[in-house]
Homo-oligomer: A and B are copies of this chain.
Amino acid sequence: MAHNAFYAQSGGVTAVINASACAVIETCRRHPDRIGKVYAGHNGIIGALTEDLIDVNRESDEAIAALRHTPGGAFGSCRYKLKDIETHRTQYERLIEVFRAHDIRYFFYNGGGDSADTCLKVSQLSEKLGYPLTAIHVPKTVDNDLPITDNSPGFGSVAKYIATSTLEASLDIASMCATSTKVFVLEVMGRHAGWIAASGALAGSGEGEPPHLIIFPEVAFNREAVMARVDEAVKTYGYCVIVVSEGARYEDGTFLADSGNTDAFGHRQLGGVAPTLAGMVKQDLGYKYHWAVADYLQRAARHLASRTDVEQAYAVGEKAVELALAGKNSMMPAIKRVSNTPYAWTIEPAPLAEVANREKFMPREYIREDGFGITEACRQYLSPLIQGEDFPPFENGLPKVAKLALHRVERKLPAFKI
């Protein structure tokens, strides 16, 4: 007998999280004997808690297919971490109550480390309560900080965007440096892990090729050492391109962006790392600078997605449903690298207990000894992840995106306050 499935998106969205959604939904639709309806949580897990469910069955096949090339989170995502299960058991019980009310027996939760943890807890509690739920976590995070999986869907596309943008902007600076900007700073995401910053290094590899400096959150920031390197690059190559992680920090853990930047109103929150670093360049070296902060542009840039990333995002979504149908519970489909050249990968299940609450940082052997670049091992790890293009269809000069109807499912339960 067929039961229903629930899908939700969690945390910061990516260029390809909807490709995973597309895969989950399309794969469910291929199994009408086992899976009846697919419901999506409006704004992630909040949709489940508040019984705010989107009736995915009323979306056309075309609309669902278009999710594959639509950035953002089509059903709404959220920054909402379920609290500790011992003291806030009511939330978990509510989830199961909602699932029961709508005959939901498959729970697909698409997110990062926090959502893997939630997924695991929901699975454990449902078992304890005797409710037959199969919970599968679908990996996603631009930060690439999930353990076990070769990489996290979403990361490869950011990496491709940052590497491409670094390459393009570097050509701009190189052509103007004789009489204009000498130092360019690009700030990228990754507060704890330097994977995205590292991907900027893919823009060049030969002697003197930009970027000339990568600043990782994993390496304590030393102003003197950094400025000496900047000066050397400008004197040797005529200019200096820096890719800096938003998480760059001093030895004592203070973020660079927190280093005293204030606006007219005394707000510290304003400071970005890029303008802070650019200000140091100006003060210490006197060079003309420009800086850019890519912010959401980098994780939303579906127009420049990595085909590898899109394929992997789709594959983990598809595999999630297959695992659920095979009776696997509390699992995450993880990407396993089979070979580097040519890049080959498979999807294999990983127990959620091994995934939850573990962050994967850049290993020291991926960071060059001087701390300002990546090693060959890192390049070999990163390079396959940006391979291939998967341009979306364009309409009237702009990427075409999915338009969903987002019909709501009728509520069956009393309201629940979160």
Contact = CB atoms under 8 A, between A and B. Distances in A.
Interface in A389-418: 389, 391, 394, 396-399, 401
Contacts of A303: 164, 168, 304
A76 interface: yes
A347 interface: no
Contacts of A279: 263-265, 267, 269-270
A76 B295 contact: no
Interface residues of A, number: 84
A148 interface: no
Q: Which of A80, A175, A401 has the most chain B CB atoms inside 10 A of its CB?
A: A175
A164 B296 CA distance: 13
Given A290-B296, A297-B168, A297-B294, A383 B399 contact: no
B282 A267 contact: yes
A327 interface: no
Q: Which of A179, A267, A303 has the most chain B CB atoms inside 10 A of its CB?
A: A303
A176 interface: yes
B397 A387 contact: yes
A77 B175 contact: yes
A19 to B, nearest CB: 14
A191 to B, nearest CB: 13
22 contacts: A72-B170, A75-B175, A78-B176, A78-B178, A79-B180, A160-B397, A164-B303, A167-B398, A168-B303, A267-B283, A270-B278, A272-B275, A274-B293, A290-B295, A290-B296, A291-B295, A292-B294, A294-B297, A383-B396, A386-B397, A387-B397, A389-B391
